[in-house]
Structure 1
Amino acid sequence: MSLNSYLLRQAGVISRAQAVAAGLSRDAVDRRLATRRWRPLHPRVYLAEGHRLTDEGRARAAVLWAGPDAVLSGVAAAWWHGFAERAPLVVGVTVPRRRSPASRPGVSVRRRTLEPVDLVEHRGVALTARPLTVLEAAVEMGTAGGGAFLDHALQRFIRFPAVYDAYCRNLGAHGSATARLLLVAAADRSASVAERLLVRRLREARIDGWRAGFEAGGFVIDIAFPLARVAIEVDGWAWHMDAARAGWDKRRQNALVRHGWTVLRYTWHDLVERPRTVIAEIRHEVEVARGASGLAGHRP
């Protein structure tokens, strides 16, 4: 690759190794530094004149400085993926355990060995894959900002099972305890948010006869059509990581079926990605039940 190609591709940033690979001698590189045509950003990583140091440039420079097999991680990776609006002031990079560069101004270094599934390349930069990025960025933001970030990412960019799998692959890593707290809290919040979304969908579709939080057979049904005996259960993300809760939900569903209820289950993603199908299925089940019994519904 030519020198200009490197500079255009990398927001004006280039490493000494890249410059030599592009045909410059070491003396030519040193002359550019001496005449301030290039200025050092990190050891052996430079910004060429005519280029302003941007957030992109800072991120690229950090990975270049950290060396072979270094990857962008944490909030910096979230920004690179497009999950975060602002780049962090300190760029996080991860390097394999066998290497030991120390953190330096503007760059935070983390040493660990990542699974291949947790690594990707995007726009010429190696970085953590989307699921691990979302999780670790949330941890880096802390329990205050991290919770809101995780909710937003789970609703717009990534599915909970993928993030949970990334969490399981990296158990014991720094921040694992905080990651679990954030995941559990997000899972708990998701159920109530999804339930409110379903209520809104039902009202928009002008479907009547339902009750929220209806008690039947010793259980509380999320959304129930009592006269039609149709129960709608809305799953948050908690069941992915809580076997006891998943088992309880299954026992509750079996009990409702034994009492003559038809049970439909939906997730957040069902309500967001295929709302028309969800509403059509609910409408069909309710109308079939009403037609069979000749019952009329009522509006809550």
Structure 2
Amino acid sequence: MLDGYLRRHDGVITLEQARAAGLSHSGIQRRITSGRWVRCARGVYFADDRPFTDAARVRAAVWGYGPRAVGSGLTAAWWHGLTKFAPEVVEVTLPRDSNGRKRQGCRPRRRDLHRSDVTEIKGMRVTNLPLTVVEAAAIGGGGAKLMDWALQTRVDLPTLWQAHLRHKGRHGAPRARRLLRAADSGARSEAERLLHGLLREAGITGWKANYRVGGYRVDVGFPRQKVAIEVDGFAFHSRVEEFQVDRVRQNGIVLLKWQVLRFTWLDLVEYPERVIAVIRSATSA
């Protein structure tokens, strides 16, 4: 029974779980004293006869804050399978009345979650999928891409809005709201406004919004340099018909001797410096 439990839970076990599995106090102490079990946190141990994996590290960190602790943010995103790599710092949400201290490799946040916002996966409590998506997406360095992928494969937009509105005052809520608004409108109009802001902030002049090139309109045009910029929205909004129409437009513009630059909404959010560098290079040539 104990071996099966350790196997299912990445070699991590709590004091309460060990006792529930039938181990006596002396039996637990013998394992600790002999080095068979290594203490990870108060009342949390790792059976040191196997590799200490990322899953073991994350589980031990969350369990180390007690039975009411919940993995959240990128920690929950990885546990749900939304991200490929485990976070270096484990984010844990604790009830407001808890007294868990910050430990190395952990980032505790205090707030009260409704039971509907929590799910259990492989024996560990984490925020449910919608709340995980909106919170993880608010973190820079790929968060917008995470939301885009989740909308394509795992969750719908109304459900994300509901999760966001239930927790409007949380850390990262303003960025999550911008992402949701962008996805709600198909991202295009929001992305165009963002592009205009980036151009103004960079001091780039000579461009016109919604500029007509032949029989088409481009999102941003540089008439003197004949450079057109087109912005694409969230991938989950794209349809085959829209893809085809966009390519016909682009070919028509290229035949008029214009250079076309295409950026995604994710480019503007995650890599604005790269976007500006490409535009500078094209318009100064």
Opposite residue 45 of structure 2, the aligned amino acid is Y
Tell me which of 160, 170, 174 is aligned to 1:173: 170
Aligned to 1:126: 125
In structure 1, the residue matched to 2:254 is none
> What's 1:156 paired with?
153
Residue by residue, what CA displacement relative to the aligned partner does 1:163-205 show, whole Å, maximum 9, x if unpaired? 11100000112222222223234445545543564323689xx
Map 1:57-96 to 2 at 5 A: 57-96=56-95
CA apart distance, 1:17 = 1.6
> What SS class does the counterpart of residue 92 from structure 2 fall into?
strand
Contact 1:38 1:47 in 2 (8 A): yes
1:114: which partner in 2?
113
User: Which deviates the most, 176-185 or 14-23?
Assistant: 176-185
Match of 2:26 in 1: 27
Residue number in structure 2 paired with 1:198: 241
The aligned amino acid for 2:146 is F
Secondary structure of the structure 2 residue equivalent to 1:76:
helix
Change beyond 3 A, Cα 1:170–1:19: same
**Map of 2:219 onto structure 1:** none
Q: CA deviation at 1:82?
A: 1.0
Q: Is the 8 A contact 1:45 1:65 kept in 2?
A: yes
Query: What are the within-5 Å matches in structure 2 for residues 1-300 of structure 1?
Result: 2-139=1-138, 141-142=139-140, 144-188=141-185, 190-191=187-188, 192-193=232-233, 194=237, 197-200=240-243
- Residues of 2 paired with 1:116 and 1:29: CA distance? 32
RMSD over aligned CA atoms reads 2.6
Instruction: Determine if contact 2:15/2:43 at 8 Å carries over to the other structure.
Output: yes
Mapped contact 1:146–1:182 kept (Cα < 8 A): no
What TM-score results when the alignment is normalised by the length of structure 1?
Answer: 0.62
Contact persistence 2:32–2:38 (CA under 8 A): yes
Does the C-alpha gap of structure 1 residues 29 and 195 become closer, same or farther in structure 2, counting only changes over 3 Å? Answer: closer
Deviation at 1:158, TM superposition (A): 1.3
Alignment gaps of 5+ in structure 2: 189-231, 251-285
Distance verdict in 2 for CA 1:36–1:195, change over 3 Å: closer
What is the CA-CA distance between 1:133 and the residue it aligns to? 0.2
Question: Which amino acid in 2 is paired with 1:87?
Answer: A
Contact 1:120 1:128 in 2 (8 A): yes
Task: Please tell me whether the aligned partners of residues 83 and 157 of structure 1 are also in contact (alpha carbons under 8 angstroms).
Answer: no
Cα contact 2:42–2:64 (8 A) shared by 1: yes
> More displaced, 50-59 or 176-185?
176-185
Distance 2:185 2:64 in 1: 41
* Structure with the greater alpha carbon radius of gyration: 1
Structure 1: 5+ residue stretches without partners: 204-209, 213-300
Aligned length: 205
**1 CA distance for matches of 2:181 and 2:135?**
15
The separation in 1 between residues aligned to 2:154 and 2:238, in whole angstroms, is 20
* Distance in 1 (alpha carbons) for counterparts of 2:58 and 2:176: 24
